[in-house]
């Protein structure tokens, strides 16, 4: 006689194939529903990131252009069509001595003849290195942008001359020697501007799908607007990009209006920025 009767064991069961298939189907349906609701926020996040990147590029480009344009020689900005703006950039400026220290010492800038030397009020060496006047830089006085007083006017050999050397500094003044030049008009504020030897004319040109920064070695009578030089922005929609200058309407304070339209590499996303630059045309 068995003194230890067998313990009753519950029957063991597992998932049937039908149950497993039903679970997979239900999970697929739930996953599909979730993906439908998640797709739009994810697409919006990706699109916003793409637009932010485009906006950042466009903002950097227009700020760089604005910095260049603000440093332009008064009354030197001009446009050719709507896709080109050019100007004469300046590196610094100063005031010239209008009267001689003593009779015949040639320290003033003489407008009655071709003068070759004058004293600048201030020390050239005290200026930041990038703004110091050097040999082959250009001196421009009272550029009005009109016939007879224009840096673009070849009839007066252009309203500028070349610096030959920088002389001694004494009593807070600097002697500047230049190629003999008779400037047509004196500045009411005894001001002069300096154009760097390396960049004497700059143009921003939108051509094809690129925005170029073109540099010329000397001011040209007519607008050049050559699509050459470094590319500062690509994938540009030139049909929607424009430059407008209101200098002919405002005598001393001009306005440059820029519209820059950029696309992503696929051409599916476009960002358009408008930027205005106030320019002082006081010569």
pLDDT mean values, one per 10 residues, the chain (283 residues)? 55 72 84 78 80 87 94 92 93 95 91 95 95 95 89 84 94 95 92 94 94 88 83 93 79 87 83 91 86
Kind and range of the H or E run holding 203: strand 201-207
- Contact between 66 and 59 (Cβ < 8 Å): no
**pLDDT score for 5:** 55
Question: 69-101 burial, b if ≥16 CB within 10 A, otherwise e?
Answer: bebbbbbbbbbeeebbbbbbbbbbbbebbeeee
pLDDT of residue 104: 86
Give the domain range for residue 166.
Answer: 92-195
pLDDT at res. 90: 96
Same-domain check for residues 96 and 189: yes
User: What length does the chain have?
Assistant: 283
Q: What is the pLDDT of residue 12?
A: 59
β-strand 201-207 against 191-195: which pairing, if any?
A: unpaired
- Among 195, 219, 234, which residue terminates a domain? 195
Do 145 and 121 lie in one domain? The reply is yes
Whole-number pLDDT of residue 180: 96
My answer on whether 101 and 81 are in the same domain is: no
What's the structural domain count of the chain?
Answer: 2
Cα-to-chain-centroid distance, residue 242: 14
Q: Which of 157, 175, 195 is the last residue of a domain?
A: 195
Last residue of a domain, one of 195, 230, 251: 195
Same domain, 80 and 126: no
Q: Is residue 9 part of a domain?
A: no
Phi/psi at 96 (nearest 5 deg)? -95, 155
Mapped onto helix, strand or coil, the DSSP state of residue 18 is helix
- Percent helix, strand, coil in the chain (nearest 5)? 25, 35, 45
pLDDT tens sequence across 98-129: 999 988 889 999 999 999 999 999 999 999 99
Residue 98: predicted pLDDT:
94
Sign of CA dihedral 176, 182, 184, 188: positive
Identify whether 42 is part of a domain.
no
Q: What is the rounded CA–CA span in Å between residue 174 and residue 221?
A: 32
The pLDDT assigned to 211 comes to 95
């Amino acid at each position: 006689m068995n003194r230890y009767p067998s313990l009753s064991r519950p029957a063991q069961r597992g998932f049937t194939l039908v149950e497993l298939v039903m679970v997979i189907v239900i999970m697929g349906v739930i996953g599909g529903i979730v993906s439908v609701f998640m797709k739009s926020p994810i697409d919006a996040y990706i699109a916003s990131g793409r637009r932010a990147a485009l906006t950042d590029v466009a903002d950097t480009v227009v700020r760089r252009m604005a910095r260049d344009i603000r440093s332009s020689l008064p009354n030197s900005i001009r446009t050719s069509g709507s896709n080109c703006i050019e100007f004469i950039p300046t590196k610094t400026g100063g005031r010239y001595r209008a009267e001689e220290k003593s009779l015949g010492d040639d320290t003033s800038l003489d407008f009655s003849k071709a003068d070759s030397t004058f004293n600048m009020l201030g020390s050239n060496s005290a200026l930041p290195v990038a703004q110091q006047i050097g040999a082959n830089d250009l001196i421009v006085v009272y550029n009005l942008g009109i016939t007879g007083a224009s840096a673009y006017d070849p009839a007066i050999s252009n309203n500028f001359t070349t610096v030959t050397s920088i002389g001694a500094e004494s009593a807070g003044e600097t002697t500047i020697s230049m190629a003999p030049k008779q400037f047509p008009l004196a500045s009411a504020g005894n001001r002069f501007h300096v154009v760097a030897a390396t960049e004497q004319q700059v143009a921003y040109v939108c051509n094809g799908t690129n925005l170029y920064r073109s540099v010329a070695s000397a001011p040209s009578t007519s607008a050049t607007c050559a699509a050459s030089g470094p590319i500062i922005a690509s994938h540009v929609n030139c049909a929607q990009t424009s430059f407008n200058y209101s200098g002919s309407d405002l005598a001393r304070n001009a306005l440059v209006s820029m519209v820059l339209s950029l696309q992503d590499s696929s051409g599916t996303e476009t960002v358009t920025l408008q930027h205005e630059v106030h320019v002082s045309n006081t010569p």
